[in-house]
Chains A and B, each alone.
Chain A
Amino acid sequence: MASELKANKVHEPLFHLAKRDNMPRHKALLIRIASIAVGFVFICVFAFLIVGWNPADILSTMLDGSFGTPNRRWDLFEKTAILLCISVAVTPAFRMRFWNIGAEGQTLISCLAAASCMKLIGTRVPNPLLLLIMLGAAVLAGAIWAVIPAIFKAFWNTNETLFTLMMNYVATQVTSYFVYIWSVPRGSGHVGVINSDSRAGWIVSGQYPYLLNILIVIVMTITTYIYLNYCKQGYEISVVGESENTARYIGINVKIVIIRTMLISGALCGLAGFLIVAGADHTIIANSVGGQGFTAIMVSWLGKFNPLIMSFFAFLLSFLGKGAKEITTLTGLDSAFADIITGFVIFCIIGCEFFIHYSIRFRRKEDKA
């Protein structure tokens, strides 16, 4: 009897997935907010297990670490600005579905270019001119670093993800090379603060630290937004991203678009490198970018390649970093705590996209008759 029943029954899955096209905006927003909330629940549970604090303490400590004093606030905004700058920089390439994961290297090599101008030219030219030279060198270096994989992609379809990844490490080693050459004392591997007396090549924002950096990034973000959404070139990028064949059919020169877009992407990374060296660090180490090139890729993706939404995510991740730092300073735990909680939140946000793009349809209950 039982086997007979089984044979008659057609196997039907419990549910099936269907793609949905347009979820109402407010609903999608709610899902995203909920996912961030779930991320924070993970953080609280994890932190409770490790340090034994209750959620209120954890959140208030994180808020205090980010906003407690004016210095902390400026620091938070500066970190957000740099992260946002790199995120916006990688965006044009991503819109083209060119998976450039070499922002780390492109930014680092432009940090190196800016620092070398600072070191070698120093006080020989007036400060505004020096800053311009540094900016030019950084932008050029970033653009060159980005255009090499683009050329190979355009002409021979070389895998850009792996190419740009390798370029990161070439950049790291080139930077280490120069760091050893310039290190004081010789061979120590530390360059130290460059031009600490003359402050040549430093961006000075008067009484508000980092104000100029932040303004530059805001202008750059809005400009890129306009370029991507309201310019012909921005439209071409989107078409190439959607379908190279369509682009070719309507007369877009795909090779030129790929190369031009990566030049822009690299140049904007160059701006970020310039801001890191001239605006904040005033020195160069092999870890000057500190993994932000990789974080920026996540920010860009989380922000749906929209520079304005990205600013929120750059802020969120910087806040998590600063907040986690405060917790680890107070408890004496390792600073890698920040990476773990960033991971939690990003996993949740990545996962929630599924519920926005797909709907789960459960099998309708069949009548038993």
Chain B
Amino acid sequence: MIIFAFIRRACMQGVPLLYGSTGEIITEKSGHLNLGIPGIMYMGAIGGIIGGFFFEQTGADFSLWYIKLLAVLIALTTSLLFSCLMGLIYCFLTVTLRANQNVTGLALTTFGVGVGNFFGGSLIKISKADVPTVTLTKTSSCFATHLPFVDKVSQLAEEGRCPMVVSEICSTLFSYSFLAYLSIIIALIASHILMKTRVGLTLRAVGENPATADAAGINVNRYKYISTCIGSMIAGLGGLYYIMDYATGVWSNNGFGDRGWLSVALVIFSLWNPSLAIIGSFLFGGLYIVHNYIPNLTMQAQELFKMSPYIMTLLVLIFVSIKQKKEALPPAHLGQNYFREER
């Protein structure tokens, strides 16, 4: 049954990556390569932590259902606000002020990771709260709530009243929190909007050739702003999921690690298609932790296994560029700013 445990862990690892890459795909479709995604995901995480922390400090009674709901909503709102703010900074600098996207993105990552680690590390000192560590067990348990029947099925299986396989499959499919399912729903919706609707077509036109889109009467800057901010907010949810569900509300500096960059890699791997990113993210999630499930692996060999998601991405990148398939190429104006008066 270890295979089911592995799949469950892989999916949990995959969810933040899926949020990050869905957000980045939406942004990249507008022609902006946002390398600030890792920083934005940190901001999403710390936003949730800050909101949840101050709410828990009020001493609200978490046994009431509406308090639980309120806790989730507050953490969700602060998280979205923080990541949206990052998206706005990025847009203002690259769209309005036409700054270099790579440099702005990297600065945003430095800044976001810095804000995350700084407030995560010194929130208690700043707020003068009387707790030893930033541990949001209560808020986290609200976020991690999953469907009740999964527990019942596994209880039945333990009593021998239903086969173990059924219970394992049941918990592999249904044992996640709402944010995990939301990530898949968002990816599917994003994929539908990008590929099947008028808005998506316009957005792709902006990313492929902004001058043509402009001539067709599309407000290029508005599309860029909206897609980047929505993309940032989605990516920020990845940070929130990681900290509230995966890390059970315990902040540790740099705990989120390089998952942000892995999301950027996943964008290439999924060929700018959010529904492919769903499969890709669970695959990457599996590759990220597979070293824990291979028996008798030495510490050094584990480090080599951790390389596998990046190697996979490299292979896809090379393969795609050699094949030159039209559908699989990045948006033509990715990374280039648009100025109407420039020819």
| A interface residue numbers (CB < 8 A to B) | 17-19, 50, 99, 101, 152, 156-159, 161-163, 165-170, 172-174, 176-178, 180-181, 187, 189, 291, 294-295, 297-298, 301-302, 332-340, 342-344, 346-347, 350-351, 353-354, 357-358
Of B93, B109, B303, which is in contact with the most chain A CB atoms at under 10 Å from its CB? B303
Q: How many Å from the CB of A183 to the closest CB on chain B?
A: 8
Q: Is the CB of B314 within 8 A of A166?
A: yes
Q: How big is chain B's contact interface, by range?
A: 35 or more
Q: Is the interface of A mostly helix, strand, loop or mixed?
A: helix
Q: How many Å from the CB of B101 to the closest CB on chain A?
A: 9
| Residues of chain A with a CB closer than 8 A to B119's CB | 334
| Residues of chain A with a CB closer than 8 A to B304's CB | 173-174, 177
Q: Is the CB of B306 within 8 A of A19?
A: no
| Residues of chain A with a CB closer than 8 A to B33's CB | 161
Of A99, A157, A343, A358, which is in contact with the most chain B CB atoms at under 10 Å from its CB? A343
Q: Is the CB of A340 within 8 A of B114?
A: yes
Residue ID in chain B nearest A350 by CB atoms: B99
Q: Which 6 A-B pairs have the closest CB atoms?
A: A339-B114, A343-B111, A334-B121, A336-B117, A354-B97, A180-B300
Q: How many Å from the CB of B122 to the closest CB on chain A?
A: 4
Name A177's contact: one of B113, B114, B300 (CB within 8 Å). Answer: B300
Q: How many Å from the CB of B313 to the closest CB on chain A?
A: 5
| B interface residue numbers (CB < 8 A to A) | 33, 35, 89, 92-93, 96-100, 102-104, 106-111, 113-122, 125-126, 253, 258, 261, 264-265, 268, 298-301, 303-304, 306-307, 310-311, 313-314, 317-318, 321-322, 330, 335, 339, 341-342
Residue ID in chain B nearest A183 by CB atoms: B299
| Residues of chain B with a CB closer than 8 A to A156's CB | 318, 321-322
Name B106's contact: one of A159, A297, A337 (CB within 8 Å). Answer: A297
Q: Is the CB of B318 within 8 A of A339?
A: no
Q: How many Å from the CB of B40 to the closest CB on chain A?
A: 13
Q: Is the CB of B106 within 8 A of A294?
A: yes
**A176–B257 Cα gap in the complex (Å)?**
15
Q: Is the CB of A161 within 8 A of B110?
A: no
**A168–B258 Cα gap in the complex (Å)?**
11
Q: How many Å from the CB of B220 to the closest CB on chain A?
A: 14
Of B100, B264, B314, B321, which is in contact with the most chain A CB atoms at under 10 Å from its CB? B314
Name B118's contact: one of A161, A334, A351 (CB within 8 Å). Answer: A334
